[in-house]
Structure 1
Amino acid sequence: MFFQRGTQFPCEVIVNDPEVERLHRRVTHSSLTATAVTRKGLGITKLEASNRRSAQTEDYHPLPPGSEAHWEVVERILFIYAKLNPGQSYVQGMNEIIGPIYYTFANDPNIAFRENAEADCFWCFISLMGEIRDFFIRTLDDSESGIGAMMERLMSNLRHHDHQLWNRLRTQELRPQFFSFRWLTLLLSQEFDLPDVIRVWDSLFADANRFQLPDPSLHSNDGIAKRCYAAERFWLQYENSAALPSGGCPGTAQQSH
């Protein structure tokens, strides 16, 4: 696994100084217990507890002196972030956010960029968390920017665009907390393989309104949806053209100069 391998550019100050205590020796690892809801037919609903620490987690062991694993670099970034943000600290799931970012920088074909993967990853992670940090603050769950409000807007959009699916989820009592909580907080990083996650994120981060789900109740039936659909078809038709026609976008008046 990539994160268990040694990095090509370990932090020399840490790995070569015997007086510096490695972070993995200072941090206490704990095991989390999760509770799953199971239901068989019309029988009684049961809660089953399970230990979330797996054998794969145990494989994250430190490398010999003089070397450093990729997971140690990520651990250091998260540790520094927690120290710089004591009001939020580290919350479970942040490691899933930073993973694809670090992987991308650490595998850059340019060796100079790979050498600075830790610093670049740190600042990109800081920037991204600045946009989604409210998702990881429990006291803000019910605020307008919190994860609770985001899940409500997601379900409102689903009800507006696919009422049949929304009704199916409602009748089966599949609350958004059961599935969309992880989708939104971890940005789908747990739903796809890493190459697919990077591709999804590439499109997500290119959108200026990436974390703003619209409220469908605020839109009226004044033809805006039809005009947007027409514009979308127009751009799809000419996206590979060298030049666009001079007639202007469909559904809009041509501006005079």
Structure 2
Amino acid sequence: MISPRPPAFPPWLCGPHMTRSTSSPSSTDAHLQFPDGSGLLQPPRWDEPQRACALEQICGVFRVDLGQMRSLRLFFSDEACTSGQLVVASRESQYKVFHFHHGGLDKLPDVLQQWKYCAETHLKDQQVADEKTCMQFSIRRPKLPSSETHPEESMYRRLDVAAWLRHLNALGQVQEEYKLRKAIFFGGIDVSIRGEVWPFLLRYYSHESTSEEREALRAQKRREYAEIQQKRLSMTPEEHRAFWRNVQFTVDKDVVRTDRSHQFFRGEGNPNVECMRRILLNYAVYNPAIGYSQGMSDLVAPILAEVLDESDTFWCFVGLMQNTIFVSSPRDEDMEKQLLYLRELLRLTHLRFYQHLVSLGEDGLQMLFCHRWLLLCFKREFPEAEALRIWEACWAHYQTDYFHLFICVAIVAIYGDDVIEQQLATDQMLLHFGNLAMHMNGELVLRKARSLLYQFRLLPRIPCSLHDLCKLCGTGMWDSGYMPAVECTGQHPGSESCPFGGTVETPSPKPSREGRKGPKTPREGFGFRR
């Protein structure tokens, strides 16, 4: 028998009662609804709002008025479903986030379930006047069914010293480069050999080079680097003033706040911080067309911490900026190209989310929530260990040069359901994904992205708007003897024919649906096949 008196709760859980949602919960989502307060159990108000605010700011008391709440979400960030976040959103799109870094979040759903049953006792004779005024409570558990994983997902382990040496011949040349890239794509690289393997991925070293040739290259590149630095130091006073105004002022501000919690850059007067500063200033001299943009320090810092040599790090960074599409510069045309591909991938793989973006108009299609993902290569979205694993998977260039876009789609697929369910506006989407930063499961996102790439390769035809997605790929993008057909989207202003040779498929007549039960539902992206 359920007691009519609800259990006591902390002050931050004081508010209106919950009623069971009419939607049926699944194994991964539990939904409740909150009355809006219009004639239904008015929530108590704080007698001293100023005092409550002071307590929150000074003592860290977590207080939320559920009467002003739009949604309450539990996001589990680990597969064991013990750690994560409690996120409370107000109707004014203000978010309060309560973090469970070391477990315990799994206990909260049980408490809320008990509270729900008490609410049912109180509201059994009352009716909710308007379903649209009800807020939601849900539990998000990160899961990826085994049926949706890449068939080779568990076949590769992390590349360690022994495995790396097996890829080298007696002269130090990399043998079977494609197999090496595949192993890194699935398993990543052990921390102990990153400094040796990363220069290959960043194309500082050629896979065909011998150990002796690489040593000769390093000596040559050190001389070149010294010449670049000397050019910077020998600027005229006028040149130096312009350089300080356009480059150095921003670099000096950025380096002192980049990865300072990392052991390699920690502490006052750390020489590694000055080393990073020189690399960025010298790069602006080496490539004045790009110069320096805020965020480049976030890309250089991990490379320097692993490669441990200023000259080698500089040339690895040059390779990163020159030879990978993974890094998107802030230039409008570069970002727009990335967003165009991403929109098309979302249309193929997550149609409901794409349709929501379309409903928001031009602002929604700009996808502001993912700009930081692309500009900083997910470094601000995941803890360092997981972010670097994502970098390595992208640098492997296995089957696509655009794997970072599949990472974006994977994040949306796993963590974007609330955007659709709550019909979040553009600014609310930005807040939603921003609050998930550093609390998403990087390994889960990687597995989902690999499965999405696998399914993309199974498509019998691809839209011509994604033709360039495989244009630059080397060996192994498509299975031998198989290439997908290119289907024209018909969106080529000023051109009578498709520049990619795409064909327009004429739809075949379909039988009448009269007499059939239920409306026709659109297909949600592509399905998973074996």
Aligned counterpart for 1:210 among listed residues 382, 397, 401:
401
Report what 2:282 is aligned to.
80
Supply the AA of the counterpart residue of 1:80.
N
CA separation of 1:189/1:176 partners in 2, compared to 1, >3 Å: closer, same or farther?
farther
1:136 matched to 2:325? The reply is: no
Query: Equivalent residue for 1:155?
Result: 343
**2:277 equivalent to 1:89:** no
Moved more, 75-84 or 199-208: 199-208
1:169 matched residue in structure 2: 357
Change (3 A) 1:156 1:198: same
Q: Is 1:122 matched up with 2:314?
A: yes
Which of 168, 189, 193 pairs up with 2:379?
189
Task: Show CA shifts across 1:3-40 (max 9, x none).
Answer: xxxxxxxxxxxxxxxxx9xxxxx7435999xxxxxxxx
| CA distance in structure 1 between the partners assigned to 2:252 and 2:365 by the alignment | 27
Taking a change above 3 Å as real, the CA distance of residues 137 and 200 of structure 1, as seen in their structure-2 partners, is: closer
Structure 1 residues 72 and 177, CA gap change in structure 2 (3 angstroms) = farther
Unaligned runs of 5+ in 2: 1-232, 234-243, 406-455, 468-481, 486-527
In structure 2, give the amino acid aligned to 1:28: F
SS in 2 for 1:136: coil
Structure 1 gaps of 5+ residues are 1-19, 21-25, 33-52, 107-116, 234-257
Q: Secondary structure at the match of 1:156?
A: helix
Which residue identity is paired with 2:463?
S
CA RMSD in angstroms, aligned pairs only: 4.1
Rg bigger for which structure? 2
Provide the C-alpha distance between the structure 2 equivalents of 1:206 and 1:100, rounded to a whole number of angstroms: 17
CA deviations on 1:188-246 (whole Å, 9 max, x unpaired) are 112111111111111111125323769941389x9959xxx76xx5xxxxxxxxxxxxx
Which residue of 231, 249, 253 corresponds with 1:28? 249
Tell whether the 8 Å contact from 2:252 to 2:277 is kept in structure 1 after alignment.
no
Q: Deviations over 1:123-169 (max 9, x none)?
A: 1100010035883262xx33xxx221111111110111110122233
Whether contact under 8 Å (1:183, 1:191) holds in the other structure is yes
Equivalent residues, number: 164
Give secondary structure in 1 for the equivalent of 2:328.
helix
CA contact (8 A) 2:343 2:365 kept: no
Q: Do the aligned partners of 1:182 and 1:188 also contact (CA within 8 Å) in 2? A: yes
Counterpart position of 1:46: none
**C-alpha distance in 2 between matches for 1:98 and 1:31:** 14
Separation in structure 1 between the aligned mates of residue 290 and residue 250 of structure 2, nearest angstrom = 19
Deviations 1:112-132 (A, max 9, x none): xxxxx2222111100010035
Q: Give me the whole-angstrom Cα distance separating, in 2, the residues matched to 1:151 and 1:83.
A: 30
Assess, with a 3 A threshold, how the Cα gap between structure 1 residues 178 and 121 changes in structure 2: closer, same or farther.
Answer: same
Q: Deviations over 1:27-86 (max 9, x none)?
A: 435999xxxxxxxxxxxxxxxxxxxx9x967x899955xxx4322111110100000111
Relative to 1, partners in 2 of residues 1:216 and 1:31: Cα closer, same or farther, differing over 3 Å?
A: farther
Query: What's the TM-score once normalised by structure 1's chain length?
Result: 0.51
Match of 1:201 among 391, 402, 410: 391
Amino acid in the other structure paired with 1:217? P
Query: What amino acid maps onto 2:298 in structure 1?
Result: E
Shift of the 131–30 alpha-carbon distance from structure 1 to 2, 3 Å rule, reads closer
- Aligned residue for 1:199, secondary structure, equals helix
Query: Structure 2 residue aligned with 1:100, among 302, 313, 328?
Result: 302
Q: Distance in 2 between matches of 1:151 and 1:93?
A: 19
- Share of identical aligned residues, percent? 26
Q: TM-score, normalised by structure 2?
A: 0.27
Q: CA separation of 1:75/1:216 partners in 2, compared to 1, >3 Å: closer, same or farther?
A: farther
- TM-superposed CA distance for 1:97, in Å, is 1.6
Q: Does 1:70 align with 2:269?
A: no
Amino acid at match of 1:164: R
